[in-house]
Structure 1
Amino acid sequence: MLSTQAIPQSWGRYPRVKPARVVPIYWRDQLPDLQALPGPLLAYGYGRSYGDSCLNENGTVLLASHLRRFLSFDEEQGLLRCEAGVSLAEVLDLIVPRGWFLPVSPGTKFVSVGGAIANDIHGKNHHKAGTFGCHVTRFELLRSNGKRLICSPTENRELFEATIGGLGLTGLILWAEFRLKRIHNPYIDMERIRYDSLEEFMELCAESDEQYEYTVAWVDCLASGSKLGRGIFMRGNHNRSPDYARKPLPRKLPLAVPVDLPSFTLNTLTLKIFNTLYDHSQLQKRVSKVVPYEPFFYPLDSIHDWNRMYGPRGFFQYQCVVPYDQGYDVMKEILQRISRSGQGSFLAVLKKFGDVRSPGLLSFPRPGLTLALDFANQGPKTLRLFEELDALVRESGGALYPAKDARMHGEDFKRFFPRWQEFMRYVDPKFSSSFWRRMALVPSWEQSATVEV
C-alpha cells in the first residue's frame, strides 16, 4: 500500500508511474532493514531527473530528501561533508558567503548531493573541471545486505567508480564529501554574443575555451538555411573585484506556473515567435556585464514548476553528445532534422565537452558537442523524430544521457556505455529502477553475478 508521501515523479512528468510504497529515510543511525523491504529498491531525492531513472514502478522508493544535515566544513581547504539529501541550493547558501562555490553545477540548484553523484552531473565548465564526480573525495554507501561502506579513490575504489554516474543502482548514498572552488565574490563577469550560424558557434568555442571557465549557448532549434544553429553564446568567469564582495545580492520574488498549460500552447508558431524574439532581445553583437551568479547558472530556477508549461502529457528532454571529429557535420544534421520537424523548444542548449575524464564507469560526458532540448510530448510524432536523431548519434559514436532519457533502447544503452557489463558486477542485487528494467538488462535483484560487498 502506498504511503501518504507524495507520489514521486520525474521532472519531465513522463512516464507517470507509481511505486508500491515510499519509505522516508530520516536518520543515518536509524536505517530500515533493506533486506526486509519488498524489492526492488531505489533512492529518490528531488525528482529532477527528466525521465524514469529516478522512478521505480511497483517497487519501494527510499525517500532520501530528509537526510539534510551538514556534517563538516573545512573552510581552509574547501572540503564539505553533508548528508546525501542536502540540495545544491542549501550548499550554496552555506558556502557562497564564505567565499566558496560548487566545483561543478547543473542548470538547476534544486538537486540533491546524492543525485549529483548518481547522475555525475556536468555544467558550463566541463572543459575546465570535468564532472561533479571528479571532485568527490569519499562517501558512505549502504548496501541492501546492511553493510555500510566508505568509498573513495583508495577505499572500495571499484564501488566508488560504479556509484559515480551509477544511476542509484549500487545502493543508498548516506553522506558525501567533495571539494569546493574558491571565489572572491558571488558575481560573474559575463559576455553574451549573438552568433548567426553553427560554424560561428564552433569558432566562439575555440576562442573561449582557454580564457573562460564557463561557456554555453542558447540555440534557435527552429532556424534553418544560412541561420541554422544561430543563437546567443554566453561565457563568463568569477569576478575578482573586492568591491563586489561588499555588494549584496539582489533578491527577486520567484514566479510560478500554478497549473498545467493546455497542450496547444506550445506549437510550431509559438516556438518560432519565442525563438525569434529571444534571438533579437539583444540588439548588440556583444554585451558584457557583471551579474549575480544565480541568473547566470540557474535562469529557470526563478520559475517554480516551469515543467507545467508543457501540459498534462509531460515532455521529453533529449540530450546527446557527438564526438569532436564529426561534431560539426552531425550536429548540423541533427539541427536540420529538428528544424524540419517543427518541434523542439525554447529551451535548447548547445555546448562543448572537454576531455577531463570522470572516474565514473557510466559517466555520460565525453569530448564532443552536446545538445540538450525539450520536446512537448506529442506521442508518435515526437518518438519518430527521436528515432531519426538516435541513428545520427549512434553512427557518430556518441551517446544519450540516461538522466534525461525516457525512451532510449537497451541496445543503444549498451553501445553508448561500453563498460556496462563491468558496472553490472557492482549493482546492488536488490536495487533497480524503471529505467534499468526498460533497458532490458537482467533485473538487478535476480542477478547472481553481482560482486558481494
Structure 2
Amino acid sequence: MRDAGDNWGGTIAPPPGGRRRRPFDGRLAQAGETMLPHGNGRSYGDSCLNDSGWLLTPAQGARIHGFDAETGLLDADAGVLLREVTERIVPQGWFLPVTPGTQFVTLGGALANDIHGKNHHRRGTFGRWVESFELERSNRGTLHCSASENADLFHATIGGMGLTGFVTRLRLRLMRVGSASILETTQRFSRLSDYFERAEAADERHEYAVAWIDSLARGTSFGRGHLICGDHAAEGDRTGRARPPLATVPWTPPVSPLRGLGLRAFNELYFRKARPGMSRRTVPFDGFFYPLDRIGGWNRLYGPRGLHQHQSLVPTRHAAETVRALMETALEAGQGSFLTVLKRFGALQSPGLLSFPTEGYTLTLDFPHLGPRTERLLDRLDAIVVAAGGRVNPYKDARMAPATFAASFPRWRELEALRDPALLSDFWRRTALRLPLPSLDAATPASESVC
C-alpha cells in the first residue's frame, strides 16, 4: 500500500521524492509555498494531503496541560492522541464524549474533521464539546477562539479540515461515566427493513448504537446484520488502557483477500457470530469502540492500491430506499463492501460550518481500489446520495467531483472566505477551487456568514 502513513486509504501516490513535512514551529507563512496542518494521518483521502507544499505536523512533546476531575474540563495540546486522553481521564471517572473508530487520532484532527461516534443521537459531534482553542493564523498571529470570541473562526475551524489555521491547544469538556467497560447488547436481524424498524427505539434506550450489515446477502436476507448497542457499565475498567494488538499485518498482499470468496466467508461467519435474537455481555471499551485498532496495519489487507471508504448521509425521509439503492448498486457492480456500517444521526446540531453529520442515516462502505471500475461505482453512489438530498463525507474522500462537494456542502464559500491564505489541501484544490466564486459585490461578508 502506498505511503499509508500520510493518508489511511493509501490510494494516492506521493510526489517524486516523497511528501514534505516539518514540525510546526509557530510559522505559517513561507514564500511561494502552501502548508497544511497534518495530525496522525488517519483521514482516508486527500483532505490531509498537500502534495504541492508542506505538511505541518504537531511539535514534539505534545502534552496534556491540565484536567479538572471535578468539572471534566481538559486542557491539552492539539497533537495529543485520543488514546493518551483516555488513559489520563478514565481513572478519574470520565470518558471522551465523542470518539471515532480509532484511538490513533489527534485532538486537532478530531476538531478539524468534527468527528462523530456511535452516540451522535445523544452527544452530537466532537465540536459540541470544544470550549475554546488557540489558532495560529499566517495573517493575524495567535487568536483565542470560542463561541463568543472570534466566533466566525471558531465555527469555521470545527470541521474546517485544517484550512483556517494551525490549532495549537484546545479545551474540551468530557463525559462522566461509571467505568470504561461497555454493557453490549447485540440483536441479530434478518433483513434491512428490520434495522429501520428498530433504530430509533435503540437510540432512545442506549448511549451507543450502530449496525453491521452483510453487504453480500441477497433475496429475503438482503441487508441482514447486527444492531449493536452499548452503555457504560457502573463497575469495570478504570484504567483506560487499551489492550495490545492481537496481530499485525506485516506486509501488503499482492491481491486483497477482502474480495470474492474471502469476503463472502467472512460475512457469513460474522453474521452467525451473534446468536439469533438478542444477547448481552460486558466488553472492554477498546473492543467496542476500536476493534480495528487491535489489528496493526489492517488497511494493508486491501491490497497494493489501497482502499476507498464511501460514507454518505441521507435525510430520514429518504433513508430506507436510498440505503437499499446504495447497497444494491455495489452488489450489481460486483464490489461488496468488507465493512458496512449503518448508523442513525440525531437532531443535535454541530457548531461547525462544514460539519458532515446532520439528522438522518449514515452508511459507510469500504472497497479495495480496483482502478476505474471502483471509481465508476463511487460516482454512481455519489449521484444516488445527492439525488436524495444527502451528502458525502469529505474527510473520507479521495475522488468526488466538485459538483458533488458543492451539493453536499452549499456553505463551502463561507469557509473559503475564512481560509488562511497560507493553507491549502489537495482536497480543496480538487473540489472548492474548481467551483465558481460569487462576484465581489455579491459575496456575503465573512462576519455575517456564520451563525
TM-score interval for Structure 1 and Structure 2 normalised by the shorter chain: over 0.9
* Aligned partner of 1:388 among 372, 376, 380: 380
Alignment of 1:22-421 (within 5 A): 22-25=21-24, 31-36=25-30, 38-64=32-58, 66=60, 68-145=62-139, 147-241=141-235, 244=236, 251-421=243-413
Runs of 5+ unmatched residues, structure 2 = none
Aligned equivalents of 1:88, 1:264: Cα separation in 2: 30
Aligned equivalents of 2:240, 2:395: Cα separation in 1: 35
| Residue aligned with 1:428, SS | coil
Q: Shift of residue 34 of structure 1?
A: 2.1
Aligned-residue sequence identity (percent) comes to: 46
Aligned equivalents of 1:417, 1:293: Cα separation in 2: 34
1:279-327 Cα offsets, whole Å, 9 max, x none, are 1122332110011111011101011111100111111000001100111
Contact 1:44 1:65 in 2 (8 A): no
The more displaced of 61-70 and 345-354 is 61-70
Aligned equivalents of 1:298, 1:174: Cα separation in 2: 26
Q: Shift of residue 8 of structure 1?
A: 5.4
Aligned equivalents of 1:323, 1:231: Cα separation in 2: 22
**1:28 paired residue number:** none
Q: Aligned AA for 2:381? A: L
Aligned equivalents of 2:379, 2:263: Cα separation in 1: 22
User: Are the structure 2 counterparts of residues 151 and 440 from structure 1 closer, same or farther at C-alpha, using a change threshold of 3 Å?
Assistant: closer
| Residue aligned with 1:36, SS | coil
Contact 1:45 1:112 in 2 (8 A): yes
1:322-341 Cα offsets, whole Å, 9 max, x none, are 10011111111111111222
Mapped pair 1:441 → 2:440: no
Aligned equivalents of 1:264, 1:297: Cα separation in 2: 25
Aligned equivalents of 1:276, 1:336: Cα separation in 2: 18
Runs of 5+ unmatched residues, structure 1 = 1-5, 26-30
Aligned equivalents of 1:265, 1:188: Cα separation in 2: 31
User: Are the structure 2 counterparts of residues 306 and 386 from structure 1 closer, same or farther at C-alpha, using a change threshold of 3 Å?
Assistant: same
| Residue aligned with 2:228, SS | strand
| Residue aligned with 2:135, SS | strand
1:1-59 Cα offsets, whole Å, 9 max, x none, are xxxxx99520000112246631113xxxxx34322354211011110000000000120
Contact 1:189 1:236 in 2 (8 A): yes
1:352-391 Cα offsets, whole Å, 9 max, x none, are 1111000101000011111112100001111111121111
Contact 1:393 1:399 in 2 (8 A): yes
Q: Aligned AA for 1:161? A: H
Q: Aligned AA for 2:327? A: L
User: Are the structure 2 counterparts of residues 52 and 7 from structure 1 closer, same or farther at C-alpha, using a change threshold of 3 Å?
Assistant: same
1:204-253 Cα offsets, whole Å, 9 max, x none, are 20221111010001111111221111111100111124xx3679978444
Aligned equivalents of 2:290, 2:166: Cα separation in 1: 28
Q: Shift of residue 412 of structure 1?
A: 1.2
Aligned residues: 438
Aligned equivalents of 2:33, 2:315: Cα separation in 1: 39
Normalising by structure 1, report the TM-score: 0.92
User: Are the structure 2 counterparts of residues 322 and 38 from structure 1 closer, same or farther at C-alpha, using a change threshold of 3 Å?
Assistant: same
| Residue aligned with 1:365, SS | coil
Contact 2:157 2:352 in 1 (8 A): yes
Aligned equivalents of 1:24, 1:38: Cα separation in 2: 19
1:61-119 Cα offsets, whole Å, 9 max, x none, are 11116352111111100000100100000100111111100010000010000000000
Aligned equivalents of 1:8, 1:378: Cα separation in 2: 21
1:250-290 Cα offsets, whole Å, 9 max, x none, are 84444110000122533222111111111112233211001
Aligned equivalents of 1:21, 1:388: Cα separation in 2: 34
Contact 2:256 2:301 in 1 (8 A): no
Contact 1:249 1:292 in 2 (8 A): no
User: Are the structure 2 counterparts of residues 326 and 67 from structure 1 closer, same or farther at C-alpha, using a change threshold of 3 Å?
Assistant: farther
Contact 1:65 1:86 in 2 (8 A): no
Q: Aligned AA for 2:379? A: E
Aligned equivalents of 1:295, 1:264: Cα separation in 2: 24
Contact 2:26 2:136 in 1 (8 A): no
| Residue aligned with 2:105, SS | coil
Aligned equivalents of 1:440, 1:349: Cα separation in 2: 28
User: Are the structure 2 counterparts of residues 272 and 108 from structure 1 closer, same or farther at C-alpha, using a change threshold of 3 Å?
Assistant: same
Aligned equivalents of 2:76, 2:260: Cα separation in 1: 45
